[in-house]
Amino acid sequence: MRVIVRTVSELCITVGAVMVLFVAYVLFWTGVRADGVMHDQIDQLHRQWSQSAAHPSATASKGSGGSGASGSPASPAAPAAYHYGKPFAIMYIPRLGFTWNKPVLEGTGTDVLKKGLAHYARTARLGQVGNFAVAGHRRTYGDPFKDFPRLRPGDAIVLTDGTTWFTYRIDKGPYKTVPSDVEVINPVPRKSGYTRPGRYLTLTTCDPEWGHSHRLIVWAHLDSTQPVEAGKPSALRR
């Protein structure tokens, strides 16, 4: 009898300890890991971009286009293919913090979302006509979109793909919807107020902060572009 009581108590304590460890893992350790991984992704992008800047011929053969910088700013030319799980851009949102910058990766699998923001694979490419839709974690894995509700119309969302700076301006949001509302990432998103095709951007994350019953959305339009040689866009200057 005594042995049974003792074993059951020990099992209960063990289960409790494992739960505490799991909470620590979700709250803390995923963030530590994600910060490291996102940092690596951004480093990888910078390396890639400096290489293609140094060897324009290599870039051309890969098709990622050295002409992007000299091309017309309205149509950043010669795009490289996006590969699932690979980073292709860096996003800056001054409202979320002056040092806030995250890599954007292709695809929205859970493995991709652990490494940064995730581009919906079937939506438009960065800066192109259509809707460039991006999802990110609200909580855990570095909390990239923790302050999502603080975004306001007029806020800048700046992205770079190594050749061009894209400055988007938020028009509407945060808009709360249900998870099945796929029309929010349509080329002309429903409920966004946009009526004509254009160069749009959509960000999605979960709501409430630790839940999954709803989604928060913001919509933005492409405000301006400039080649990276021209320096950072005004939205990123202090």
96 binds other proteins (CB under 8 A): no
**Residues 234, 214: contact at Cβ < 8 Å?**
no
Kindly name the residue from 119, 137, 214, 221 that is annotated as catalytic.
137
In this structure, what are the phi and psi dihedrals at residue 123, rounded to the nearest 5 degrees? -100, 175
Rounded CA separation 188/219 (Å): 10
Q: Which is nearer to other proteins, 36 or 154 (CB)?
A: 36
Q: Are 157 and 103 in contact (CB under 8 A)?
A: no
**Interface residue with other proteins, options 41, 48, 59, 108 (CB under 8 A):** 108
For the chain, the residue count is: 238
Residues 177-196 that bind other proteins (CB under 8 A): 177, 179-182, 184-185
Residue 159: half-sphere exposure toward Cβ, Cα within 13 Å? 29
Q: Decide if residue 28 touches other proteins (CB under 8 A).
A: no
CA distances for 220 relative to 65, 82, 152, 153, 173, angstroms? 26, 22, 10, 8, 9
Q: Examine residue 220 and tell whether it contacts other proteins (CB under 8 A).
A: no
Among the listed ranges 15-23, 53-61, 153-161, 190-198, the one in contact with other proteins (CB under 8 A) is 15-23
Is the separation of the CB atoms in 214 and 207 below 8 Å? Answer: yes
Binding of other proteins at residue 4 (CB under 8 A)? no
Closer residue to other proteins (CB): 24 or 81: 24
Beta carbons of 221 and 200 less than 8 angstroms apart = yes
How many residues touch other proteins under the rule CB under 8 A: the total is: 40
- Part of the chain binding other proteins (CB under 8 A), chosen from 92-100, 124-132, 158-166, 200-208: 200-208
Q: Any contact of residue 136 with other proteins (CB under 8 A)?
A: yes
- What's the closest the beta carbon of residue 105 comes to other proteins, in angstroms? 13
Q: Which is nearer to other proteins, 177 or 226 (CB)?
A: 177
Catalytic annotation, residues: 137, 206
